């Protein structure tokens, strides 16, 4: 071994050093942070206080989704809650469907924003209107194209509602369908959740997703809502949480009953458009969050670059292969546990591919924001 190391030239030393440093950083993320999700145990005896809850949903031309999903929310097994749907300038049958549902469900409340050619707005206004209309302190947010995993979604999410908490982060996955794109979307959503949920568990919460997110109305009003980032089209969920979440006021809920599922995009262009909007908000995160997220992605990129340089060198390829296998075994073990926790199936082996191509895709989409200037929708 001593003779082997002494034979290294400057090329080998640089390649191996970069590989090992990047590997070390990656292992710290997986073994110290990401592992928190598969190891986390919910306190099933903690049933909360069954506080009244206001479920907030913004809908823009969501007639079909409301028919299929809204009754599942309106029929939750929970003693005291209201559902507020904000119809944001829909030009389909959304309003008619909501009015019909109101005849059956007396805890459904509807607010309508009518189209005005002189005034344009985004989802943040619709959400603000819904929140101000809420009569309860605890708000549970989801989207019109989301459905809860069962009738105990609300009661399971509320287990983390207590006097010390102001935010509860839930998991919002996507429906499993056929095709490579569907699996890529689902893994991307899974890995994002692995990051924000594990960081919340180490008391560094930085974001949540509006598909399944709860917080107090007083927190929203005390922060003046979305005022600080009202000029940014997206960010009604992650930017708000990034601004108000602390090490003491945030909890995560992992129970399968607390999950929601959404309809994934059917084409790469539609997903890419949505993804670019989400990526654009990350630049406004707090510095420590940008640093921690950026360090993971950067170390992963350097790991793969150095790995390629090492494995093509006949003198040191065995070091590259060993480093790759070590990271892969640890990564797949943690992914497997986290996927079981978040009920994501048939993604484990494909994660080997997505771990490499998704960062490249994200970089491409991020920089494409500076090249193309398209008008943003609120969804």
Interval 60-91: pLDDT, tens = 999 999 999 999 999 999 999 999 999 998 88
Give the start-end residues of each E strand in 89-245: 108-113, 138-143, 146-148, 167-169, 172-174, 213-216
| Count, residues in the chain | 379
Angle, helices 287-311/317-341, rounded to nearest 10 degrees: 140
Sign of the alpha-carbon torsion through 6, 11, 12, 17: positive
Which CA distances in Å does 248 have to 61, 166, 175?
38, 9, 33
Please state, in angstroms and rounded to a whole number, the distance separating the CA atoms of residues 201 and 178.
Answer: 33
* Residue where the block lists tokens 């994200």: 362
* Structure-token pair, residue 372: 């193309």
Q: Is the dihedral of CA 209, 215, 218, 222 positive or negative?
A: negative
Tens of pLDDT, residues 236-272: 889 999 999 999 999 999 999 999 999 999 999 988 8
pTM for the complete prediction? 0.90
Pick the closest to residue 343 from 149, 159, 200, 153 (CA basis).
149
Name the DSSP letter for residue 375: P
- Is there a contact between 281 and 368 (Cβ–Cβ < 8 Å)? no
Question: 297 vs 62, 284, 301, 311, CA distance in Å?
Answer: 36, 17, 6, 21
- Full set of structural domains in the chain with CATH: 2-34+288-348 (no CATH), 44-284 (3.90.550.10)
DSSP string spanning 260-324? EEEPPPSSHHHHHHHHHHHHHHGGGS-HHHHHHHHHHHHHHHHHHHHHHHHHTSTTTHHHHHHHH
* Ranges of residues in the chain whose predicted pLDDT is under 70: 1-9, 11, 43-48, 116-120, 369-379
β-pair partners for 217 = none
């Amino acid at each position: 071994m001593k003779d082997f190391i002494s034979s290294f030239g400057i090329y080998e030393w640089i390649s191996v050093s970069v590989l090992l440093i990047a590997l070390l950083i990656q292992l710290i993320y997986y073994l110290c942070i990401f592992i928190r999700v598969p190891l986390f145990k919910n306190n099933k005896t903690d049933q909360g206080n069954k506080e009244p809850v206001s479920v907030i949903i913004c809908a823009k031309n969501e007639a079909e989704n409301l028919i299929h999903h809204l009754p599942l929310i309106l029929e939750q097994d929970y003693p005291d809650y209201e559902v507020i749907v904000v119809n944001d300038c829909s030009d389909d049958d959304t309003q008619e469907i909501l009015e019909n549902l109101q005849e059956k469900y007396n805890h459904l409340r509807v607010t309508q924003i009518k189209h005005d050619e002189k005034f344009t707005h985004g989802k943040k206004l619709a959400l603000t209107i819904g929140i101000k209309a809420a009569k309860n302190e605890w708000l549970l947010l989801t989207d019109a194209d989301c459905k809860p995993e069962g009738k105990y979604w609300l009661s399971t999410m509320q287990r983390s509602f207590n006097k010390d908490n102001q935010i509860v982060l839930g998991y919002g996955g996507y429906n499993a369908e056929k095709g490579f794109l569907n699996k890529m979307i689902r893994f991307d959503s899974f890995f994002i959740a692995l990051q924000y949920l594990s960081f919340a568990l180490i008391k560094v919460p930085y974001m949540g997703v509006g598909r399944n997110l709860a917080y107090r109305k007083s927190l929203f009003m005390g922060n003046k809502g979305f005022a600080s980032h009202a000029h940014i089209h997206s960010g009604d969920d992650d930017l708000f949480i990034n601004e108000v979440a602390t090490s003491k006021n945030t909890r995560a809920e992992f129970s399968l009953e607390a999950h929601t599922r959404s309809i994934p995009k059917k084409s790469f262009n539609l997903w890419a458009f949505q993804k670019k909007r989400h990526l654009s908000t990350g630049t406004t995160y707090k510095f420590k969050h940008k640093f921690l997220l950026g360090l993971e992605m950067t170390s992963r990129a350097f790991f793969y670059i150095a790995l390629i340089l090492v494995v093509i060198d006949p003198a040191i390829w065995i070091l590259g292969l060993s480093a790759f296998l070590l990271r892969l075994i640890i990564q797949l073990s943690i992914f497997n546990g986290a996927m079981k926790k978040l009920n994501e199936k048939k993604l484990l082996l494909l994660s080997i591919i997505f771990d490499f191509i998704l960062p490249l895709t994200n970089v491409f989409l991020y920089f494409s924001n500076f090249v193309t200037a398209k008008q943003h929708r609120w969804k």
